[in-house]
């Protein structure tokens, strides 16, 4: 075979190999993007909801959510499916929240005195107004709990995760999760009922020390 023909053949082989490698990489990128899109859809509401209830700040929750999804994107190739995607995402969300709170807003980790939010818009349809008022009261009550009580209550009763999933997210045993959940429910119920009395009779809500003494 003439030298020129052999060189042309080699160039053709190289070109074919490069083309195949490009196709493989494109397919891998498409699969990765589809996997991330699915993970995002499965977890975005849970992540945002958790962060809203932990911070009582929709704008901050949006910012922290973006950090969560960035971490998910960067580490998606390491996710092997040992847990549900939502559980994995919520574990990242808690780590992001804890990191932010410790550095920028430590009081978010502590029990807080009752602090009413602004009144819900009274011009809304009655059903929507009642729903928003209920969500507002829940947020107010949750902020009267410490971070661990708030988290265990949100994950178990709001997100309806199993005890095992909650334990994995919080790095606790299931027995400890059950114990903390019992105490968190009891404290939340007392704060919630105190809020109802405040609304109906105009009474002040008891402070966190008084609530703790009565548990």
Q: What's the rounded Cα separation, in Å, for the pair 44 and 41?
A: 6
pLDDT at position 5 is 62
Q: State pLDDT tens for residues 70-104.
A: 999 999 888 877 789 999 999 999 999 999 999 99
Supply the pLDDT for residue 154: 95
**Exposed/middle/buried for residue 22 (C-beta within 10 Å: 0-12, 13-18, 19+):** exposed
Dmax over Cα atoms in the chain, in whole Å? 102
Residue 120: CA count within 13 A, CB half-sphere? 15
Q: Which residues have CB under 8 Å from 72's CB, separation 6+?
A: 36, 39, 40, 43, 88, 89, 92
> What tokens were used for 70?
């960035």
Instruction: Output b/e per residue, 10-20; b: 16+ Cβ within 10 A.
Output: eeeeeeeeeee
Residues 6+ apart with CB under 8 A from 211: 144, 187, 190, 191, 194
Mean pLDDT per 10-residue run, the chain (215 residues)? 58 60 69 87 95 92 96 89 90 97 90 63 69 80 92 95 96 96 95 71 45 39
Determine the pLDDT at residue 81.
75
Q: Which pLDDT tens digit goes with each residue over 29-52?
A: 788 788 889 999 999 999 999 999
Go through the domains of the chain in sequence order and give each one's CATH number. Answer: 1-108 (1.10.1740.10), 110-215 (1.10.10.10)
């Amino acid at each position: 075979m003439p030298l020129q023909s052999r060189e042309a053949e080699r160039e053709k082989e190289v070109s074919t190999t490069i083309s195949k490698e490009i196709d493989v990489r494109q397919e891998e990128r498409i699969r990765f993007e589809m996997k991330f899109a699915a993970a995002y859809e499965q977890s975005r509401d849970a992540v945002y909801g958790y962060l809203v209830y932990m911070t009582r700040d929709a704008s901050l929750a949006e910012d922290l959510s973006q950090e969560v999804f960035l971490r998910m994107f960067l580490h998606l190739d390491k996710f092997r499916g040992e847990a549900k995607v939502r559980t994995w995402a919520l574990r990242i969300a808690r780590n992001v929240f804890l990191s932010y709170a410790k550095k920028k807003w430590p009081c978010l980790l502590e029990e807080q005195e009752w602090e009413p939010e602004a009144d819900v818009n009274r011009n809304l349809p009655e059903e929507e107004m009642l729903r928003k008022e209920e969500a507002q009261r829940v947020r107010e009550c949750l902020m009267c709990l410490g971070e661990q009580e708030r988290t265990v209550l949100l994950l178990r009763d709001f997100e309806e995760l199993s005890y095992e999933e909650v334990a994995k997210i919080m790095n606790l045993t299931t027995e400890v999760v059950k114990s903390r959940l019992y105490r968190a429910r009891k404290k939340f119920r007392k704060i919630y009922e105190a809020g109802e009395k405040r609304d109906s009779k105009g009474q002040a809500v008891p402070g966190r020390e008084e609530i703790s003494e009565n548990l």
